[in-house]
Amino acid sequence: MMPSACSIRVRGVVQGVGFRPYVYRLARANTLKGWVLNGEEGVEIYLEGAERGLQAFVRDLRTRPPAAAAIVEIEVHRAQSLGLTEFTIRESQRRERPTVRISPDLPVCDACLEELFDPSNRRYRYPYINCTNCGPRYTVVLGLPYDRPRTTMQNWPLDEYCANEYQDPGNRRFHAQPVACSACGPGYYLRLDNTVVPGNEESIRKAVLLLKDGSILAVKGLGGYHLACDAANSTAVIALRERKYRKEKPFAVMARNPKVARGLVKLSAETEELLVSRARPIVLAPARTGSSEVAAEVAPENNELGVMLPYTPLHHLLFAAGAPKTLVMTSANRSSEPIAFEDGEAISRLSGIADAFLIGERPIARRVDDSVVRAGTFGPMILRRSRGYALGADAAFPRTRPILAVGADLKNTITLVVDGQAFVSQHIGDLSDYESFCAFRETIRDMISMYEVRPEELLVVHDSHPEYVSTAHALGLGGFRLQSVQHHRAHIASVVAERGDWSRRIVGVSFDGTGYGDGGNIWGGEIFVGSVTEGFERVAHLRSAPLPGGDGAAQYPVQAAAGFLSELDSLPDLTAEPFAFPKRYKDALNLIDKKVRTFATTSVGRLFDATAALLGFTREITFEGQAAMWLEQLARGVPATEPYPFPYTGEELDFRPLLHSVISDRRRGRDLCEIAYAFHGGIARGLYDALITICKVEDIPTVVLSGGVFQNELLQEYLKELLKNEKLEIWTNHAVPPNDGGISLGQAAIAGFSVLNRSN
Ligand code: ZN
Ligand code: FE
């Protein structure tokens, strides 16, 4: 009897995750013949043998795939039997445009960790140990398909030992592209002034001595350099702040193990799950007060702390060699520059910051920062999406022409859509910084060439802000068509894109810091109705106020305050106690009076700033969103109080009664924390009233929340509590950030569908 045969195509994150050896073993276990290979669209399998064996194979493939794989689709087709006599792994095949997803970088696995600390193992204390279940991926890939000659390991030929493992289908390192050992692979060395300490063990030992001594070290990691120092050592942390020109923005801490982490922050089950997840992100959680393991200067005036666990073999080696059990680990850069990732660049940019450099020889293909996440009120929330998540695909689109969406100017990311898969880049940063702008250009080039897209095929999408750097760059990219998308509609669409429910009508709330509105005003407190396919119509918004200095007001809470307060009757003198606004406030009022450099705004982010100013935050901010974060922290941990009035009048949410209440309570000396709480309550309550009305009128049961303001957990908690008895479904971002890091995905969605509509 002729054997049955079938061909199978598997799409998703299936390369570089031990998929072929897995298929090989599974085929052999079911006595099937055939082959497997990495194709450009994923893994391709041909099988022949007994019908039962084929069915068992497909069942196991569906139900028990390799741990690191993320399968999106398995296509099985009947095929003609070829009468093969064995099962083989074939060389990668190149055909058309690659659409395979590149696996994100993976943390070192338990099996490798065991070998790392086993003196009898060949890779004992080898900082680049890895296998098919773990190690670098996106940060070493130079081209597709994923194979050693197209990785940054191309210059290290395998020795016999590694080659044997690499070729042995029964081995954990079978086709592990970055495989290496201390005999044939790259190593680490330490650079201190003009001397070099060679050797993995020696350099790590010396690095640990320096860390214990309070020195600041530049340490090469997966996607770039970190600046590291003892987190318990105030002097070291203060020195790091001074040298890095980073006054107040919190630093993240790497804790030796989960137990140490639990001593630093309160870990809920959800938070701990994120902490140990494959992405190994920085997780924000409530700090435990009085921990001696973290100096106060690590996260000043902040009751949250960002914590992560070791994820490379090197991190484990540092802790095992006696490094302090909590280390500040922050992206190696000067304030606002992108993370350094090339050795020469790192040494020149970081000399003067780092006392020594712990340098690994394996080149980094592209810069990828640590990701930042939180176990949010409505589920996990990514605040910075980078290492461990990039470059996974974040959404399935209809198959259109390739789309390139260039995002917004702050917290920039870009999105490339090819053959129905949307790839959102790693976090790039603030494009007003020249180095970040260069990184933005590089990332566009990188992604386009990775997926072999020609610029003239591209639908290029940009923000509607005419003065955005990203907009100007988009105009010069030479795409076949250009399209602009309004910022806050893109925020809403980013949530819908994650779910792929394109024609679902929703009520979308975009509470944000800033963004260019339809008429050129500064938006940021908008409510829309519609769907991605039919478009979003603005149905309500925050009452408009003047904003002296425009987007520049984001830097100075008192300047934003001047705008909102100028709309109030019977205003007390705010330069007097208890407000003590500085001169900048009066200057701002003057601008408004003379209508100079004054714009209309509906930004809820600026309303938070204004309130922070009224409660005492009258200085300049030193990082984006600082005043609003300060206000949220202030409101934490006080008993619930009556919310301030923030009435929805149909089309408008009126901030005037809200600010009047803040001012009069402040004047009569009410506790600042209570005022901050009542303000949050007011915003939530007002929004709730608006939503209930709009959802009823429009007969829509689905609400989307996005925009930077929704990084505020207290606001979300309050809203969730108010909505708990309503039959409304709340959608928030989970795969991309609710801040401007999610804009590019939303842009791609809206533009993609308008092209589809046009061609119909
Ligand atoms: Zn491993
Ligand atoms: Fe935004």
Q: What is the pLDDT of residues 74-85, one digit of tens each?
A: 999 999 988 899
Ligand of minimum distance to the alpha carbon of 116: 1
- CA of 458 from ligand 2 middle (Å) equals 24
Q: What CATH number is attached to the domain comprising 77?
A: 3.30.70.100
Query: Which residues, 6+ apart, have CB-to-CB distance to 271 below 8 Å?
Result: 265, 283, 285, 374, 375
Same domain, 85 and 212: no
**Is the whole-model pTM more than 0.85?**
yes
Provide mean pLDDT across the span 152-159.
Answer: 96
pLDDT at 267: 94
With H, G, I as helix, E, B as strand and everything else as coil, classify residue 38. strand
The pLDDT of residue 2 is 64
Residues of the chain above pLDDT 70, percent? 98
The answer to the question of residue 494 being in a domain is no
Its sign, for the CA torsion 741, 743, 749, 752, is negative
| In-domain check, residue 22 | yes
In our burial notation (b when 16+ CB lie closer than 10 A, e otherwise), range 144-182 reads bbbbbebbbbeebebeeebeebbeebebbbbbbbbbbbb
Whether residues 220 and 332 share a domain: the answer is yes
Same domain, 340 and 197: yes
**Residue 396: CB partners within 8 Å, gap ≥ 6?**
72, 420, 421, 422, 500
How many angstroms separate the CA atoms of 438 and 345, rounded? 14
Say how many Å lie between the CA of residue 446 and the centre of ligand 1: 28
Model confidence at 40: pLDDT above 80: no
pLDDT of residue 569: 92
Return mean pLDDT, the chain. 93
Type of residue found at 652: E
Beta-bridge partners for 531: 535
Measured in angstroms, how far is the CA atom of residue 313 from the centroid of ligand 1?
10
Question: How buried is residue 64: exposed, middle or buried, by Cβ count under 10 Å (0-12/13-18/19+)?
Answer: exposed
For ligand 2, the distance from its centroid to the CA atom of residue 168, given in whole angstroms, is 50
Mean pLDDT, to the nearest integer, of 140-161? 92
Which alpha helices (H) appear in 451-499, and where do they start and end? Answer: 469-475, 487-499
Q: Which ligand ends up closest to the CA of 129?
A: 1
Last residue of a domain, one of 89, 113, 137: 89
Is residue 339, in this structure, part of any structural domain at all?
A: yes
pLDDT at 97 over 80: no
Tell me the CA–centroid distance for residue 282 and ligand 1, in Å: 21
**How many Cβ atoms are within 10 Å of 191's Cβ, its own excluded?**
18
Does 54 reside within a domain? Answer: yes
Q: Is there a single domain that holds both residue 85 and residue 225?
A: no
- Residues facing 218 on adjacent strands: 227, 357
CATH number assigned to the domain comprising residue 253:
3.90.870.40
Q: Rounded to the nearest whole angstrom, what is the distance from the C-alpha of residue 312 to the centroid of ligand 1?
A: 10
- The 10s digit of each residue's pLDDT in 211-238 is 999 999 999 999 999 999 999 999 999 9
Q: Is the pLDDT of residue 542 over 50?
A: yes
Peptide bond into 578 cis (omega under 30): yes
Q: Does the residue 40 lie in any domain?
A: yes
Residues of the chain by 3-state class (helix, strand, coil), percent to 5: 35, 25, 45
Rounded to the nearest angstrom, the distance between the alpha carbon of 112 and the centre of ligand 1 is 4
Ligand 1 centroid to 211 CA: how many Å? 27
CA 4 → CA 53, 78, 83, 600, distances in Å? 10, 8, 10, 70
Does any domain span residue 733? Answer: no
Q: Determine contact, residues 464/470, Cβ cutoff 8 Å.
A: no
Q: Say if residue 194 is in the same domain as residue 319.
A: yes
pLDDT at 69 exceeding the cut of 90: no
Q: How far is the CA of 224 from the centre of ligand 2 (A)?
A: 27
| 208 token code pair | 């640990």
Q: How far apart are CA 312 and CA 649, in angstroms?
A: 55
Angstrom distance (rounded) from CA 36 to CA 749? 34
Examine the pLDDT at 86 and tell me if it is beyond 80: yes
Distance 123 CA to ligand 1 centre (A): 11
Q: What domain count does the chain have?
A: 2
**Ligand nearest to C-alpha 515:** 2
**Would you state the pLDDT for residue 760?**
45
**Confidence class of residue 344 from pLDDT cuts 50, 70 and 90?**
confident
- Residues 211 and 348 grouped into a single domain: yes
Please answer whether residues 223 and 339 qualify as being in contact, where contact means their C-beta atoms are separated by less than 8 angstroms. yes
Which among 360, 388, 406 is the end of a domain?
360
pLDDT of residue 334: 73
Q: How many A from CA of 185 to the centre of ligand 1?
A: 16
Q: What range defines the domain where residue 305 resides?
A: 188-360
pLDDT, tens only, 466-522? 999 999 999 999 899 999 999 999 999 999 999 999 999 999 999 999 999 999 999
Query: Ligand 1 centroid to 420 CA: how many Å?
Result: 32
Boundary of a domain, candidates 342, 360, 378: 360
Pairwise CA distance, residues 157 & 657, whole Å: 71
Q: Are residues 353 and 220 in the same domain?
A: yes
The Cβ-side half-sphere exposure at 564, using a 13 Å CA radius, reads: 30
Evaluate the omega torsion of the peptide bond into residue 145 and state whether it is cis, within 30 degrees of 0: yes
> For 670-736, what is the HEC assignment?
CCHHHHHHHHHHHHHHHHHHHHHHHHHHHCCCEEEEECHHHHCHHHHHHHHHHHCCCCCEEECCCCC
Distance 143 CA to ligand 1 centre (A): 23
Cα 742 to ligand 2 centre (Å):
9
Q: Is residue 157 part of a domain?
A: no
Cβ atoms of residues 689 and 648 within 8 Å: yes
Whether residues 352 and 206 share a domain: the answer is yes
Q: Could you tell me the distance, in angstroms and rounded to a whole number, from the CA of residue 124 to the centre of ligand 1?
A: 13
